[in-house]
Structure 1
Amino acid sequence: MADTAELLEILFERAREASSRPLSVSQVRAVVALDRYDGLNLRTLAELLGSTPPLTSRLCDRLEAVGFLERLPHSRNRRELVLRLSDSGRAYLQDLRARRRERLHAVLAGLTAGERDALAGGLRAFQEAATRNLAEGDNPALAQ
């Protein structure tokens, strides 16, 4: 399983590097988190990334500089900012996901229909187990 995960990482890394504006792995993780949980504050994003607020703030500075992130005033707390992906950030992520799908489709094309069906069933079971595991407390930042 670990070997397969490493191969997926390699495929996804190649898709990330194929971009005309490749982001670091940490920046991609932040973009994905902001896409999934729109309107986070800096502290919550740092917790999701397993980082510190100062490091996450610098990461956000870089994403903002390339036009992928917007920092907006919080609607109820003037001292807090809300982090949102810009349209450019969403377009980057959409393009990255498309390149990842292309890489995966190329690999899956080498499997028989039966092998693809077996893989799909196993991955569904894995996704359900992983989702349960994460919901059981691996992500305290989302419990707020």
Structure 2
Amino acid sequence: MTTTASELLEVLWGRASTAPASASQLRLLHILEHQDGINLRTLAESLASTPPSTSRLFDRLQAAGFVERATSPDDRREVRLHLSLRGRAFLADLRARREAELQAVLELMPAAKRVALAEGLDAFCAAAATQIHDDAQGSGSRTA
């Protein structure tokens, strides 16, 4: 069931094109959205990539106007990475288009099933947030 749901979501979200950003660029944008001002090394670690590859990926997004580099106010040798206003607008628009695609499907479901799905998704989000937090803390806990 999870495989089918994942594949159907990919199809629905595919209708809300991520152009002009690739999947890996989209991941980078999401990371910067949640970790504004991180440095290149931290970004590379978050992407499970190397700093040179991450730098090239960032350069392409900077050329598109989605991200920006700024000198750290604490250490002029360090560069901080930020999502630009255009990048934020792009993510907001993408989310709105994806939500519209999902909303169209949800409207086809009976009300009781939508309520059950909402309750299940709430529990899923809580469990996923716990797992991500635990993994970030290094505990590696996989309990729900």
TM-score (norm 2): 0.89
Map of 1:5 onto structure 2: 6
Show structure 1 runs of 4+ deviating over 3 A. Answer: none
**Aligned ranges 1:1-144 → 2 under 5 Å:** 1-17=2-18, 21-138=19-136
The count of aligned residue pairs is 137
Measure how far apart 1:7 and its partner are. Answer: 1.6
Q: Give CA-to-partner distance per residue, 1:79-126, whole Å, 9 cap, x none.
A: 211111111111111110110111110111110110100000000111
Provide the identity percentage: 51
TM-score (norm 1): 0.89
Measure how far apart 1:139 and its partner are. Answer: 7.0
Contact 1:48/1:139 (<8 A) preserved: no
**Structure 1 CA distance for aligned equivalents of residues 11 and 121 of structure 2:** 19
Paired amino acid for 2:6? A
Task: For residue 22 of structure 1, give the secondary structure of its aligned residue in structure 2.
Answer: coil
Paired amino acid for 1:89? G
Paired amino acid for 1:78? R
**Structure 1 CA distance for aligned equivalents of residues 109 and 103 of structure 2:** 10
Map of 2:142 onto structure 1: none
Paired amino acid for 2:122? R
Q: What value does the CA root-mean-square deviation take over the aligned residues?
A: 1.4
Query: Which ranges of structure 1 fall in alignment gaps of 5 or more residues?
Result: none
Paired amino acid for 1:3? T
Q: Could you say which structure has the greater relative contact order, defined with CA pairs below 8 angstroms and 6 or more residues apart?
A: 1
Paired amino acid for 1:34? L
